[in-house]
Amino acid sequence: MSVAILQLENRHDPFFEWSMKKNKAYCDKHDIEHIVFRKGISGYSPYWWKVVAMLRLMEKQEHDIVCWMDSDAHVFNADKDLRDFFTGSESMIICPDPPGWGSPFMAAVFMIKNNELVRSIFRQWLGCYNPDAWALKSDGEDEEKWEYVGGGPWAGKDYEQGAFAEMILPKYLNDIKSLPWYTFHEIDCIRPNRGSWSIHIPSSMGLTRPSCMSAVEKTVEGFCGSSNKGVAGVSAAAVMVGLTLVVACYMIHRRHL
């Protein structure tokens, strides 16, 4: 069974590079292809690049399972093979937002079986893209040069996450399995849930990224989930600082919802 983790990042950020390095090590451990696209996709807002990139990769039909991971997400439980998430007839596996964030689907990490149903789902998803909601402020493909002009809410239907949650997910509830939010989108590197497979630190919680890298690097083998030993090597002071940053960034995120 051919499996891939797909990521796309054209920015140079130490946390992104660190996270993708962790994901590459995970892929090497489990005989998974790690694919990283380093160039944006012309004609689409960066929020929609993942949909285009996933569909293009799936249409090659070279992989049976594909996992998308944003560049600010990394594997936490390096021992768990992502293939094991597929236990039945489901064609896609997702998780909702963390508590209080509101969406039944978070687009940072998800997995699919590469079959015709999923390719059709992605075509419909991409069909939700509204080019009138996005303006390219100047030539180039860097994320900073795009501007949202649609007037809707953050992560609403003009964004890839909102479009999927509102217009795709309700139609395919029998084909999409939703796991607890922390499975893919744990936001606490210091005291992560034992059931988490990956950790996602979004931009709204960017202040916690340095403490996240420090906490993970101080654990056995540099994997926060390796052998389920948690964060034994992190000092009490580091834990308190990290937890304080997590709470502060969480409250900031809530105020911007």
* pLDDT at 91 exceeding the cut of 60: yes
Give the pLDDT mean for 85-100: 97
- The answer to whether the CB of 198 falls within 8 A of the CB of 185 is yes
> 85 Cβ partners below 8 Å, 6+ apart?
93, 111, 179, 197
**Could you tell me the pLDDT band of residue 247, with boundaries at 50, 70 and 90?**
very low
Buried-exposed string 61-85: b where 16+ CB fall within 10 A, e elsewhere: eebebbbbbbbbbbbbbbebebeeb
What per-residue confidence (pLDDT) applies to 219?
61
What per-residue confidence (pLDDT) applies to 129?
98
Q: Is the dihedral of CA 57, 36, 157, 89 positive or negative?
A: positive
For residue 225, being part of any structural domain is answered with: no
- Residue with the bigger pLDDT between 250 and 92: it is 92
- The answer to whether the CB of 52 falls within 8 A of the CB of 125 is no
* Backbone angles phi and psi of 250, in degrees to 5: -60, -45
Give the pLDDT mean for 88-107: 96
For residue 54, being part of any structural domain is answered with: yes
For residue 224, being part of any structural domain is answered with: no
Query: How many domains are there within the chain?
Result: 1
Which residues form the domain of 139?
3-203
Please give the C-alpha separations between residue 27 and each of 22, 71, 153, 228, in angstroms, as whole numbers. 9, 15, 36, 19
> 123 Cβ partners below 8 Å, 6+ apart?
55
* pLDDT at 100 exceeding the cut of 70: yes
For residue 29, being part of any structural domain is answered with: yes
For residue 171, being part of any structural domain is answered with: yes
Which CATH number is 182's domain given?
3.90.550.10
For residue 55, being part of any structural domain is answered with: yes
Averaged confidence pLDDT in the chain? 86
What per-residue confidence (pLDDT) applies to 144?
54
What per-residue confidence (pLDDT) applies to 139?
59
* pLDDT at 159 exceeding the cut of 70: yes
> 25 Cβ partners below 8 Å, 6+ apart?
78, 223
What per-residue confidence (pLDDT) applies to 105?
98
**Could you tell me the pLDDT band of residue 41, with boundaries at 50, 70 and 90?**
very high
* Backbone angles phi and psi of 194, in degrees to 5: -65, -20
Cβ count within 10 A of residue 90: 17
Structure confidence by residue, pLDDT tens digits, 220-245 = 444 444 434 343 334 444 444 444 44
Length of the chain: 257
Listed in sequence order, the DSSP H helices in 5-95 are: 14-30, 49-59
The secondary structure of 45-56 as a DSSP string is -GGGHHHHHHHH
For residue 249, being part of any structural domain is answered with: no
For residue 166, being part of any structural domain is answered with: yes
| Structure tokens, 113 | 């079986």
What per-residue confidence (pLDDT) applies to 203?
85
